[in-house]
Amino acid sequence: MEPEVPKTKSDMVELVTDSLECSGISAGLWLVPSLDGGDLCVGIGCKGGGRIFWGNSDMNWAASIFDQRDQMVSSIETKCPSTCQDVSVVIEAILGPSRDAGAIE
């Protein structure tokens, strides 16, 4: 079976979320408010509370890290272009930094 090819950035976010969940990472889809209405993001739970929100609305995949009080405490930038259509490449780019930031597995 051919791998699914995303048609939009939101499709890619959904495919990445599904792939992370299949890998045992606690991930889900989140709509994060933005100036243009909202961005669909990959939300990954963190040990001790909080969440990592990965998105592809900028040039590269990047994340904001929030603590258990919903305060942004850090961010992560990757070199993986937001236009990348290969789910495995995106997963490779975000999995290590997510684990380093305390992602729940």
- Residue 1 counted as domain residue: no
What is the pLDDT at residue 43?
96
- Residue 44 counted as domain residue: yes
| Best CA proximity match to 95, nearest among 19, 34, 41 | 19
- Residue 3 counted as domain residue: no
What is the pLDDT at residue 68?
93
Q: Which domain holds residue 55?
A: 9-100
What is the pLDDT at residue 35?
65
**Confidence class for position 105, pLDDT limits 50, 70, 90:** confident
- Residue 50 counted as domain residue: yes
What is the pLDDT at residue 26?
87
| Best CA proximity match to 24, nearest among 95, 77, 83 | 95
Strands 51-55 and 39-45: antiparallel
Q: What total number of domains does the chain contain?
A: 1
- Residue 62 counted as domain residue: yes
What is the pLDDT at residue 77?
94
Predicted confidence (pLDDT) at residue 5 exceeds the cutoff of 90: no
- Residue 4 counted as domain residue: no
**Confidence class for position 3, pLDDT limits 50, 70, 90:** low
- Residue 64 counted as domain residue: yes
Predicted confidence (pLDDT) at residue 102 exceeds the cutoff of 80: yes
Using alpha carbons only, what angle is made at residue 34 by residues 62 and 87, rounded to the nearest 5 degrees? Answer: 35
What is the pLDDT at residue 58?
83
20-76 confidence digits (pLDDT tens): 999 888 899 999 877 667 789 999 999 889 999 999 988 999 999 999 999 999 999
